[in-house]
A and B are shown apart, each in its own frame.
Chain A
Amino acid sequence: MANRLSIVVVEADRERARSIVDSLRDAGDFDISVISEVTGLARHVSNRDPDVVLVDMTSPSRDSIEELTLASGPLERPVAMFVDRSDDGLTKAAIEAGVSAYVVDGLRPDRIKPIMDAAIARFHMFHRIRLELETTKRALEERKVIDRAKGLLMKARGIDEDAAYALLRKTAMDQGRKVVDVAEALVTAAGLLS
């Protein structure tokens, strides 16, 4: 039917793309396609002539979509970045979540809202997962360094693990530094001396 909105999702990561498509399907009956190629992006998008384009803000390729805002031919439909002029809330929420939408001229905001809501929720989730992953990775790395520093102290001073950790912590507190920084300094120094 002519009224079914077509959406193009620009996303290079297959897993993420699938997850966005799923949540859009839950939000309504849309004709959805995914573009994962970064070269020739604007050309690929305009070939599909969608009503809405969703693009990850952290991708440098987003600038290629801006080109479509300059409709050069009379048959081309001008595309504009979606800005909810009645209330900046939705646009702001989208940008904070890291997604931006481009829509063809004349599309009513209430038709876009369910799409935006679904995309915003999904991108928030991506953001949270990425943050959690980074935090976990950092914690793991810190733990490894501290373990090595403990090992060095145990060997060098003939103390047990608890005492080694206590020594690291006391040094860190005395110097107003983090335990991991002291541990790292120790590991580096040991590496130089050995």
Chain B
Amino acid sequence: MSTTPLEAGIIPLVDAAPLIIAREIGFAEEEGLDLRLHRAPSWSSLRDMLALGQIDAAHMLSAMPVAMALGLGGFAERIDVLSVLSVNGNVIGCSLDLAARMRAAGYGFDFVDATAAGRALIAAAGDTPRIGVPFPFSMHAELLYHWLGALGVQAPQALRVVTVPPPLMAQAMAAGEIDAFCVGAPWGSTAVEDGVGELLLPTTAIRAFAPEKVLAVRHTWAEAEPDLTRRLMRAVWRAGRWLDQEDNCLTASEILARPDYLNVSSEVVERSLTGRLVISPRGDLRSVPNYLVFFRGAAAYPWRSQAALMAHSLAARSGLDRAAAVKAARSIFRTDLYRQNLRDLGAEMPGATDKVEGAMRDPTAVASEAGHLILEPDAFFDGFIFDPTGDE
């Protein structure tokens, strides 16, 4: 079968899995695509490659296209989000020194309670904790500002959120540049294995269902190539469904671990895929429900409310007009293309384009076209609720 080449960029992370699996298990080929994956050295390089047309699709931090729509950082090119590649998958860790101080102050490291963890961290780290994130526009940064902001830290002034590329996070911690970090798999586990830090919380403890990476393309490309767009979306969506099956976990780990992708041990990848994390150098193990979600609960659906919430917070921190930011961000999350291109594959189609973010503490049945869609809990630790239709 002849296939059409499609160049896509990824950062070597566990959550690039839907693109890697779409290629390696053959979903792309079945859609007539020769999906060629290019590893980018940094998020900014990946963004530039996409904006300038060296690649046509990218594995992107969910907040990146939103920031671009708001005119923050880099190119003014409009980037559209076709689907969500992954939900959650991050952990917060702190230096051994900080962990020791927190423990001395009586904190129990339960890996569950975000309020207790945040208060202990603030008490032990002083007025301006320095926390490393992979990129200034990222769910990592969003979650930190929300978490510590809700606990009384004056964000953004009193919080030093520092950008550190994940492979250098352990080094920055060892050098005393940062007190804590928020990072995706497998880098949190790596810091523990290197003996420089301990894990404090999975970010699910802060927000139960946070869109982490998205499938991003240039708006002009999606408009000019509707057929390729459709085939790409279908291949990636089917890869997500495949990844959601527990039986495939071992195979997925082996593929992702390969030198041309993540180049780490398959055991480390498997831990991230199953949500069983080693949280301290002593080997304490914790199991985290919904640690990394690719598919269930309509995870791939690009809820416009998710874009709106990110735009709302970014605009507030950068001094931009909130209503205009929300409007710009909503339009790039292409729920329309999702419906159009994935309906006949049997994808669960939510009835709405938005949901009230943070309203569900338990799995909840919602209106959908086929009538049996159950969404996963999406609550924030502090009971925060974002209603995209509400007044500013």
Contact = CB atoms under 8 A, between A and B. Distances in A.
Interface in A57-78: 57-67, 69-70, 72
A69 B156 CA distance: 15
> Which has the most chain A C-beta neighbours within 10 Å: B52, B76, B164, B175?
B164
B165 A64 contact: yes
Interface string A34-59: 00001110100000000000000111
B39 to A, nearest CB: 11
A179 B74 CA distance: 47
Range class of the B interface residue count: 20 to 34
Majority secondary structure, B binding face: loop
Range class of the A interface residue count: 20 to 34
Nearest to A62: B42
Interface string B166-193: 0110011001010000000000000000
Interface stretch (A18-26, A88-96, A109-117): A88-96
B73 A69 contact: yes
A70 B54 CA distance: 26
A64 B172 CA distance: 12
B135 A95 contact: no
B163 A95 contact: no
B45 interface: yes
Interface string B107-138: 00000000000000000000000000011100
Contacts of A61: 42, 165, 168
A84 B289 CA distance: 47
A57 B45 contact: yes
A59 B52 contact: no
A26 B149 CA distance: 50
Contacts of A80: 73-74
B44 interface: yes
Contacts of B49: 95
A80 B44 CA distance: 12
A5 interface: no
B370 to A, nearest CB: 41
A17 interface: no
B156 A100 contact: no
A65 B48 CA distance: 14
A58 B38 CA distance: 13
A69 B136 contact: yes
B172 A70 contact: no
A14 to B, nearest CB: 19
B218 to A, nearest CB: 13
Given A63-B44, A80-B73, A100-B45, 20 more contacts: A38-B168, A38-B171, A39-B168, A58-B45, A59-B41, A60-B42, A62-B41, A64-B162, A64-B163, A66-B135, A66-B163, A67-B163, A69-B73, A69-B136, A70-B73, A72-B156, A81-B73, A81-B75, A95-B48, A95-B49
Interface of A: 38-40, 42, 57-67, 69-70, 72, 80-81, 83, 85, 88, 91-92, 95-96, 100
Closest A-B pairs by Cβ, 5 of them: A60-B165, A67-B163, A62-B42, A63-B42, A39-B175
23 contacts: A39-B171, A40-B177, A57-B41, A59-B42, A60-B41, A61-B42, A62-B44, A62-B45, A63-B42, A63-B134, A63-B135, A64-B163, A66-B44, A66-B136, A67-B163, A69-B72, A69-B73, A69-B136, A81-B44, A81-B75, A83-B76, A85-B76, A100-B48
